[in-house]
Structure 1
Amino acid sequence: MTNQDAGGGNRIGSTKTSFAIVHALQENGPSRLSEIADELDLTESTTHRHLNTLCDLRYVSRQGKRYQIGLRFARLGRAARTRDPAYETAWKHVQDLAEETQERSQFVVEDYGLGIYIHVETGSKAVRAGFDVGRQIHLHGSSAGKSILAHYPRDRVDEIFDRWELPALTGNTITDREALYDELEAVRERGVGFNREEHVDGINGVAVPVVRDGSVLGALAVAGPSHRLNGDRLESEVPDMLLAAANELELNITYSSPDSSVDHLVE
């Protein structure tokens, strides 16, 4: 039997509550029953029933009086990250970029209008800003997000902006639609997206799209402190590395796909 949620339509409210508990544990780490109930504005009895069910299914574990994410989620995370073979192909390029730039590098894809970190690697000088694998981000404030949006049709971009709006993530975030349309046009023309402290204060970023069969698959990006990733390093040095990596990745994806053949590789 289904219930209707506040947004209308058929929804199973108890499922939403269970996932809200899971997300709270993900964000806060091991937590007591009362802490979870207070954060989600639930009664302790309701929270306890959901936690018991999640523990029975091994998606939550309990140590003493604290609950935490169960290791069974590890397999689900692995399945999500490998659902497209191209995602796995991107991992080596993310590693190489982190080593070459000594900064944080990542591969980001769009899902439900948000950016999702599929791979994250940190170089020897990287700032660990808390953006780990699976983290969701708004697309309009990041270099990777701009690189992806720049290759979407206008109606898709508008759909994303309507759904998630354009929150000011920092004082430098572009929140005006017309200004963003101009920015995306510039990204499309130069093939590179920039983030000048628009996502996180003190952090600059640069990204390039990864295209497969004429459609954007995701974006390769590098981020670092604004005092280090600036000037020629931001404008040309790192973009050149990213463009080379994206080109190689696109070739690897093309020639490793089931549709490619040895005959196709012979000139």
Structure 2
Amino acid sequence: MNNKSQAGRGIKSAHRVFDIIKLLFESGGMTTSELAEEIDLSTSTVHEYLKTCEQREYLTRKPDGTYVVSLKFLDVGEIARQSNPVYNKAKQPLARIADETGEVAWLYAEEHGYAVPLAAEKGQRGVQVVGRIGNRKPMNQISAGKAMLAEMPRDRVEAIIDRHGLPGATRNTLTDRESLFDRLETIRERGYALNDGEEVEGIRAVGMAIVTDGEIHGSLSVSGPSNRVRGERLREELPEILSGAVNEVELKLTYE
């Protein structure tokens, strides 16, 4: 694994532990020898890392010798989610968005320059073709991410781009820096962001940031098939529904 970006920072052994966990998370499970080859360490060294993580109950060893991340991460993740104030304040408005639109409604937060889905509600006609709770997404690919970027000062957006780039998912994804900044200006002017097949072709979404006293708490979005999410519904109906939900969440964050 390439650790050039980590050179000179932190404790090497700690980086290796998280490299191992990340590999196991992404692969769905690996053996000791597979991990050793991947991160270019001896099998005995990797074995020690794995046994330590297993003893601390963060990894589980299957009968075939494959190591996988344990369900302890489920507990850790839920604690992290519950500790985010916007999650509890937005649950009811999120459900109402899904019920009123019939589509899939999402709640996102920004962390380390990624858009992180905290919750989702599926309406009666909702089509969820991509995404899962906690799966970090490049902010330039989705409406919720662009809505949050539009609320950030330029230097913060520049720092995110410098760190993560502007990866493309489809031919519609904004991957040019200045084009993105032009789009963010448009988002600020109209108050909401659009995703026109920029993450998945055939899916459109509308996103709106949740902001109080200059603090960006997250964003709400609603997505659906392009044949349903278009025209007046895309540019008027869905933004109006989102605006009401965002206003409710912002009031809750301020006064409750």
Q: TM-score, normalised by structure 1?
A: 0.86
* 1:20 pairs with 2:19: yes
**Structure-2 separation of matches of 1:90 and 1:208:** 13
The residue identity in structure 1 corresponding to 2:196 is: R
Q: Flag the 1:198–1:66 CA change in 2: closer, same or farther, 3 A.
A: same
Secondary structure of 2:76's counterpart equals helix
Matched residue, 1:120:
120
Q: Could you say which residue in structure 1 is the equivalent of 2:203?
A: 203
Sequence identity percentage: 40
What is the alpha-carbon root mean square deviation over aligned residues?
2.1
Distance of aligned partners of 1:184 and 1:39 in 2 relative to their CA distance in 1, 3 Å threshold: same
Measured after TM superposition, the shift of residue 68 of structure 1 is 2.1
Q: Which moved more, 1:4-13 or 1:85-94?
A: 4-13
Change in CA separation of 1:18 and 1:127 when aligned onto 2, cut-off 3 Å = farther
- Residues 5 and 12 in structure 1, CA contact (< 8 A), matched pair in contact too: no
Report deviation, 1:25: 2.6
- Within 1, Cα distance between the matches of 2:225 and 2:38? 33
Does the 8 A contact of 1:33 with 1:66 survive in 2? yes
Amino acid at match of 1:172: N
Gaps in structure 1 of 5+ consecutive residues: 257-267
Query: For residues 24-75 of structure 1, what are the alpha-carbon distances to aligned partners after superposition, in whole Å with 9 as ceiling and x for unaligned?
Result: 3323324444444455555443332222111100011123123222122222
Runs (5+) with no aligned partner, structure 2 = none
**Structure with more relative contact order (C-alpha pairs < 8 Å, separation 6 or more):** 2
Aligned pairs for 1:4-153 (under 5 A) are 7-40=6-39, 42-64=41-63, 65-153=65-153
Q: How far 1:92 moved relative to its partner?
A: 2.1
Q: Secondary structure at the match of 2:152?
A: coil
Residue 7 to residue 69, structure 1, CA distance change in 2 (3 Å): closer
1:209 maps to a residue whose letter is A
User: Corresponding residue for 1:263?
Assistant: none
Moved over 6 A (4+): none
Does structure 2 retain, via aligned residues, the 8 Å contact 1:113–1:139?
yes
Map of 2:215 onto structure 1? 215
- Give the number of aligned pairs: 253
- In 1, Cα distance between equivalents of 2:47 and 2:188: 50
Alignment partners' CA distance in 2, 1:170 and 1:92: 32
Distance 1:36 1:227 in 2: 45
Indicate how the Cα distance of structure 1 residues 9 and 30 shifts in structure 2: closer, same or farther if over 3 A, else same: closer
Distance 1:125 1:13, change over 3 A: farther
